[in-house]
Amino acid sequence: MQNFRVIVLSAAATALLAVTGAQAQSSKSGEQVYKEVCMVCHAAGVANAPKFGDKKAWTPLIAEGQHVLTAHAWVGVRAMPPKGGNPNLSLQEFSNAVAYMARAAGGTWKDPDAAMLKKIQVEEQARIKSLNTKK
Ligand code: HEC
């Protein structure tokens, strides 16, 4: 009987893990990702990170276009670590955060839909290729 209880309990724990795992998979909002991951650098402008809400810093970045800027940041740019340093972020979540930061600096970018995500992925591949050939 004792053993049975242990089995039931561990099954329940496994089920719980499965549920929280599934939640981690569903996309976080840009604001949430920004606060959890990006803010540490982008609030104060650590290592020259473009500051949150700084229109002057963001205007030329926004001009690069959503798929280009998002893909480059996702791959990593100089002191900006790939995926903002958090390998658990999905591309959707990361892109939501970029769009959120762009909006905070006067941009009109929406959280990317499937078509925009596809464009970001194409640009990501092109960027990786060009970085590799430079080495
Ligand atoms: C460890 C600090 C750090 C974290 C964390 C970080 N960034 Fe950055 N980010 C930087 C720095 C530094 C730059 C400026 C890079 C440069 O131009 O030299 C930058 C630049 C950028 C740019 C502009 C890229 C370009 O092409 O100039 C975007 C977009 C960006 N970050 C998005 C994000 C997002 C989204 C997150 C969170 C998911 C994030 N960053 C987390 C440090 C950080």
Fold of 28-134: Cytochrome Bc1 Complex; Chain D, domain 2 (1.10.760)
Rounded to an integer, what distance in angstroms lies between the CA atom of residue 121 and that of residue 95?
11
Residue nearest to atom 16 of ligand 1 (CA): 78
pLDDT of residue 23: 44
Rounded to the nearest integer, the mean pLDDT of the chain is 88
Q: Closest Cα to residue 102, out of 52, 56, 44, 64? A: 52
Q: How far apart are CA 44 and CA 57, in angstroms?
A: 13
6 vs 126, more confident:
126
Q: Provide mean pLDDT across the span 35-54.
A: 98
15 has pLDDT over 80: no
C-alpha 133 – ligand 1 centre gap (Å): 23
The confidence score (pLDDT) of residue 26 equals 75
Q: What was the pLDDT predicted at 7? A: 54
pLDDT recorded at residue 134: 76
**What pLDDT does 17 receive?**
46
Residue with tokens 């100089």: 78
Q: What tens digit of pLDDT does each residue of 5-14 get?
A: 655 555 555 5
Closest CA to 80 of 94, 66, 99, 100: 94
Q: What is the pLDDT of residue 55?
A: 98
Tens of pLDDT, residues 52-99: 999 999 999 999 999 999 999 999 999 999 999 999 999 999 999 999
How far does residue 29's CA lie from ligand 1's centre (Å)? 17
